[in-house]
């Protein structure tokens, strides 16, 4: 058990929990469309947005964040996270909307903005969000879980319990 705990600490460096509240009603299908400041890959729309439902204004969420301390595969990241690390698609879309809105021009904030990934896991996929400085926009994509490696310094988010 101690060896597992030490292994998890080497993979993830925890950050303080973050509270996010929707300022207005969130409709994932309307929000997650490519436009100025946001590029939405079809895989994200197909794997996440298609399953997400609207959320009312005032809904609050708390999320945990952690930075990857070393390069790690999806399986290693998931193993280092708490057992309740999976987002449902509705919560993921709502939380991500607030986090992106707080950094519309890629400024510093909860989302990592120096070219590394921000990762959020669902039961079926991993969502990657990144600031693309050259294009001045956030990019949101989704991949099947497993098989990908993420760079040290990437940030991982999970629901707080």
The confidence score (pLDDT) of residue 62 equals: 97
Strands 149-150 and 137-144: unpaired
First and final CA of the chain: distance in angstroms? 22
- What element of type H or E holds 28? helix 28-31
Report the distance separating Cα 141 and Cα 148, nearest Å. Answer: 13
Residue closest to 123 by CA, chosen among 83, 155, 152: 83
pLDDT by residue for the chain (161 residues), tens only, comes to 554 555 555 799 999 999 999 999 999 999 999 999 999 999 999 999 999 999 999 999 999 999 999 999 999 999 999 889 999 999 999 999 999 999 999 999 999 998 899 999 999 999 999 999 889 999 999 999 888 899 999 999 999 97
d(CA 100, CA 106): 8
């Amino acid at each position: 058990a101690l060896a597992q705990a030490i292994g998890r600490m080497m993979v993830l460096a925890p950050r303080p929990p973050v509270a996010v509240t929707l300022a207005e009603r969130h409709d994932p299908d309307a929000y997650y469309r490519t436009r100025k400041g946001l590029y939405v890959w079809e895989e994200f729309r197909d794997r996440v947005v298609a399953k997400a439902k609207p959320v009312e204004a005032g809904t609050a969420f708390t999320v945990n964040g952690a930075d990857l301390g070393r390069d790690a595969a999806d399986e290693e990241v998931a193993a280092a996270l708490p057992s309740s690390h999976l987002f449902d698609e509705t919560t993921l879309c709502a939380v991500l909307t607030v986090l992106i809105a707080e950094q519309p021009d890629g400024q510093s904030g909860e989302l990592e903005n120096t070219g590394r990934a921000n990762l959020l896991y669902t039961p079926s996929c991993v969502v990657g969000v990144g600031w693309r400085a050259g294009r001045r926009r956030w990019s949101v994509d989704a991949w099947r879980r497993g098989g990908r490696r993420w760079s040290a310094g990437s940030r991982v988010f999970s629901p707080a319990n």
